[in-house]
Amino acid sequence: MSRTGPTLEDVARQAGVSRATVSRVVNGIRNVDPDIQELVRHAIEQTGYRPNRAARSLVTQRTETVALIISGAGDTFASRVFADPFFGRVVSGVFGYLRSHAMHPVLLVAESDAAREQVVDYLSQGSADGALVVSIQVCDPLPQMLVAARIPVVLFARPEHTDDVSHVDLAHAEGARLAAEHLLARGCRRIATISAPQSIPAARDRLDGFRAALASAGMADVPSAEGKFTVDSGAAAMAELLDGHPDVDGVFAANDLMAQGACQVLRERGRRIPDDVAVVGFDDSSVATTCRPPLTTVRQPVEKMAGAMARLLSEHIQGTRTRPTSVIFDAELVVRESA
């Protein structure tokens, strides 16, 4: 029977090295001279050799697969995850990094306690090399369950009660400060905010940073209404603010979806944006450019943050990073027509 493709022997012959040397390079073993590694990689490219994944896994004890876990969405998984552009941006960033490093993602959902147990069992059996966790639930037990099972894990966003898990996050308070200073600079003096649930650390940071910046400018009392990161909740919060503070001339919403809802209500109430009321959002998601008018917003580079998650996890898996690490990205204000 004829073989279906080039073999290790073909690569070794092309490179002028032994089969064992080619095997060490293919399997990522580090005790090979860099010049020889380059020679072997060039021979692999010339011959079109493709490693046998099953055989390679026997040597490396790795699957080259990473689990991306959405945890805590409950029964509303589809409506919460697929309706929010944030999650699509996370997936894009993770997949972009993994593809460029010959790693493969598997999407898992941990919407209940039973599902979390199943996820931990699945990973404990070696079905993936590590886990990237995006948690919707505040005190999510899954990260600690994975740590206890000795599964490499990296989180999107700072965990609430632990420092022993690597995570990637944004300087949320600094981003909110940028929003406050922008509203002040354009002359707004009756400023309100649509916050997000304060059980979430990022939401607290955004509200605290916004209030602190306004307090420094002599505005200690900032009207606030809480939303739930959705368009409808932003609309309801904006209506509440207008009913209680009809003279409001500037609004900061803790995400773009809520800012979009705020803009809808302002238009319905006959308020011109930004002439009567300036609006600033947070995230710089696709909503920011499709909103009418386009939103001034605080950019959260979600794709880059998700890519950094995948990079951190890869380093933990390979053993080049052994301690929990936090990577904090800077926020940036993007000015558009709404403010």
**Taking the model in full, what pTM does it have?**
0.78
- What pLDDT, in 10s, does the model give residues 296-331? 999 999 999 999 999 999 999 888 888 889 999 999
Is pLDDT of 64 > 90?
A: no
Q: Which pLDDT does position 76 carry in this prediction?
A: 58
Q: Which pLDDT does position 78 carry in this prediction?
A: 53
Confidence of residue 208 (pLDDT cuts 50, 70, 90): very high
Is pLDDT of 184 > 70?
A: yes
- What pLDDT, in 10s, does the model give residues 68-107? 998 876 665 555 666 677 888 998 999 999 888 878 888 8
Q: Which pLDDT does position 2 carry in this prediction?
A: 43
What average pLDDT does range 218-230 have in this prediction? 94
- What pLDDT, in 10s, does the model give residues 247-280? 999 999 999 999 999 999 999 999 999 999 999 9
Question: What is the 3-state secondary structure of the chain?
Answer: CCCCCCCHHHHHHHHCCCHHHHHHHHCCCCCCCHHHHHHHHHHHHHHCCCCCHHHHHHHHCCCCEEEEEEECCHHHHHHHHCCCHHHHHHHHHHHHHHHHCCCEEEEEEECCHHHHHHHHHHHHCCCCCEEEEEECCCCCCHHHHHHHCCCCEEEECCCCCCCCCEEEEECHHHHHHHHHHHHHHCCCCCEEEEECCCCCHHHHHHHHHHHHHHHHCCCCCCCEEECCCCHHHHHHHHHHHHHHCCCCCEEEECCHHHHHHHHHHHHHCCCCCCCCCEEEEEECCHHHHHCCCCCEEEECCHHHHHHHHHHHHHHHHHCCCCCCCEEEECCEEECCCCC
Confidence of residue 59 (pLDDT cuts 50, 70, 90): very low
- What pLDDT, in 10s, does the model give residues 108-161? 888 888 999 999 999 988 888 999 999 877 788 899 999 999 999 999 998 877
